[in-house]
Amino acid sequence: MKAARIVPGPEGGRLEILDIPVPVPGPGQLLVRVAASGLNRGEIKQVRNAVKGAPFTAGVEFAGIVSAVGAGVTGWKEGDRVMGHGNGGQAEYVLAAARAVMLVPAQLSWLEAAAFPNVFITAHDALVTNGEFRPGESVLVNAASSGIGLAAIQIAARMGAAKVIATSRSAAKAGRLAEYGVTHAIDLSTQDQVEAMHAATGGRGVDVIVDSVGGTVFEANLQSLAVKGRLVNLGRLSGSNTATMNLETLWLKRLKLIGVTFRTRSEEERLACIEACARDVLPLVQAGSIRFPIDRTYRLDDVAAAHEYIQADRHFGKIVLVVAPELCGAEGSEP
């Protein structure tokens, strides 16, 4: 089968399209014929940081058709349309734990299904599980036009947020956020986050922040939180891993600072995240209240070009790799 492989090297890895054997599902696993796979910024870092070890297949999310079922698996059969979270999705076939996949709702295309797992599981885990969001609370989402940002916005809006505030460094991108549930968009190219956020909340601040930017907005985020607010950081798009803070702010506001990642989770913890997202978000998808903005598609052979495009930071929403054009059909043509 054809696969996008990350080949480690002393100065960082490189991407190659290689032919490798089709894997065989073990106990508790499914073999999925991949129709499409989402691309995420984390995979850019995977390539850059691959300095040693054996080559491995890229990708953390996929959508496709169950091709074979391993021993002990119940509830799934060959031919089922599934979308899932797990390593190696940028290939013609992928192995997945049976608990790591979800049935694709009938109204979703393959591209939309491939754009769902990683960003919605991550956003739900940040906002609901770790951020302890409850209906009636206010939410701020940084880097709102990213896949995770748009997922967090929609989850907050559909689950009853009083206000959904979002930031972007692009006026054009900020202008598109209202259609996804944002009540107040902050254009950081012309506005100050803290001033705009306090104006939007009457000076109260927000209850939960889902932050993918990191150190450069850390102080502004603390000032944007209400008393007993929760700051959930899941990325460092700014490139800054460090920040300073006034501990009195933490103390007086009684804040919670929370870091989330899948890198240090057990397999059971990862599967629990997937199941929690399916429980809360899939009904919203089935009801038609979740949208899947796809900025651009690329064929699997053009994965290197897709990496270049995502690094240019011009996209709004997801970039998706078409792995099986014969399944995706016209929906898989690049705009």
pLDDT in tens, 43-96: 888 999 999 999 999 999 999 999 999 999 999 999 999 999 999 999 999 999
Find all residues with CB under 8 Å of 278, minimum gap 6, and list them. Answer: 102
- For 218-262, the pLDDT digits (tens) are 999 999 999 999 999 998 776 678 888 889 999 999 999 999 999
Confidence band of 333 (pLDDT split at 50, 70, 90): very low
How many angstroms separate the CA atoms of 299 and 313, rounded?
A: 19
How many angstroms separate the CA atoms of 228 and 272, rounded?
A: 26
Q: Are β-strands 225-233 and 206-211 bridged in parallel, bridged antiparallel, or unpaired?
A: parallel
- For 82-109, the pLDDT digits (tens) are 999 999 999 999 999 999 999 999 999 9
Task: Kindly report, as residue ranges, where domains of CATH 3.90.180.10 are found in the chain.
Answer: 2-116+292-332, 120-259
CATH of domain 2-116+292-332: 3.90.180.10
Find all residues with CB under 8 Å of 65, minimum gap 6, and list them. Answer: 32, 33, 35, 79, 80, 81, 82, 327
120-259 is classed in which CATH architecture? Alpha-Beta Complex (3.90)
What is the pTM for the complete model shown? Answer: 0.94
How many angstroms separate the CA atoms of 253 and 33, rounded?
A: 50
